């Protein structure tokens, strides 16, 4: 018998949880245990669903997970894989909280980017500019930099957005203003990026913990 994902490859192991037969391309032991891709996604979801301790308070985080199976496209670069996993993650997020989704041709056909960044200056940009995008991300316009400015734009501009698509609020969101951001703008998701980095590109765990605490208290 050969692998369902890789018809050329013989079966080398079986998923610990569901017993699905797997070839060597499909078997990536996690802490010494072999899971199929679905059971691995379930395991990740279970682990993440455990309450975590954020500065002495029990905090529950929900995650959406995007998965791309490396063995199916051996020529893909690391950037390709991350982009595809991202696309699957947005798809999972659309289905609700704590879901996972595998990247496949249907997601590819959505047209990437599935997330369209719109930079907001004095007025709201054209929200119909990217009909293929599943999500919009509103970020602060900066003439010198593309993204990650760390400054917020005038959120009241979003009052006129008709919410035809799910959207991220981004730009200058930090532990001090996240509650206001959620209650004023009611975004579908928040992009934290620079607001919780102590230096560009470095996520600051204290800031993230403070932010979760603010959200939780609300």
Chain positions contacting Zn ion, by CB under 5 A: 3, 5-6, 15, 17-18, 20, 23, 25-26, 36, 39
Quote the least distance from Cβ 204 to Zn ion, whole Å.
36
Q: Which is nearer to Zn ion, 20 or 83 (CB)?
A: 20
Q: Which is nearer to Zn ion, 7 or 131 (CB)?
A: 7
Written as six digits, the tokens of 63 are 């995650």
CB contact at 8 A, 23 and 3: yes
DSSP letters, 153-184, are --GGGGGG----SEEEE-SS--TTTHHHHHHH
Quote the least distance from Cβ 73 to Zn ion, whole Å.
13
d(CA 195, CA 30): 32
Quote the least distance from Cβ 102 to Zn ion, whole Å.
13
Q: Which is nearer to Zn ion, 38 or 177 (CB)?
A: 38
Quote the least distance from Cβ 19 to Zn ion, whole Å.
7
d(CA 22, CA 17): 12
Q: Which is nearer to Zn ion, 100 or 138 (CB)?
A: 100
Q: Which is nearer to Zn ion, 39 or 169 (CB)?
A: 39
d(CA 195, CA 199): 10
Quote the least distance from Cβ 169 to Zn ion, whole Å.
37
């Amino acid at each position: 018998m050969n692998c369902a994902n890789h018809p050329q490859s013989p079966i080398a192991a079986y998923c610990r949880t569901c017993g699905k037969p797997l070839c060597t391309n499909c078997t990536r032991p996690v802490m010494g245990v072999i899971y199929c891709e679905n059971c691995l996604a379930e395991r990740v979801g279970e682990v993440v669903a455990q309450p975590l301790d954020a500065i002495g308070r029990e905090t529950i985080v929900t995650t959406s997970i995007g998965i791309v199976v490396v063995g199916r496209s051996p020529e893909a670069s690391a950037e390709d894989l991350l982009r595809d996993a991202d696309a699957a993650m947005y798809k999972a997020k659309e289905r609700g909280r704590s879901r996972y989704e595998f990247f496949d041709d249907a997601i590819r056909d959505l047209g990437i980017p599935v997330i369209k960044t719109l930079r907001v200056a004095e007025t709201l940009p054209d929200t119909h500019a990217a009909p293929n995008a599943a999500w919009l991300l509103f970020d602060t316009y900066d003439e010198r930099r593309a993204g990650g400015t760390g400054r917020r734009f005038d959120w009241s501009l979003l009052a006129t957005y008709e919410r035809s698509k799910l959207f991220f609020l981004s730009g200058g969101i930090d532990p001090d203003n996240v509650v206001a951001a959620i209650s004023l703008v009611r975004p579908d998701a928040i992009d934290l990026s620079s607001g919780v980095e102590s230096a560009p590109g470095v996520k600051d765990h204290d800031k993230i913990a403070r932010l979760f605490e603010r959200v939780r208290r609300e």
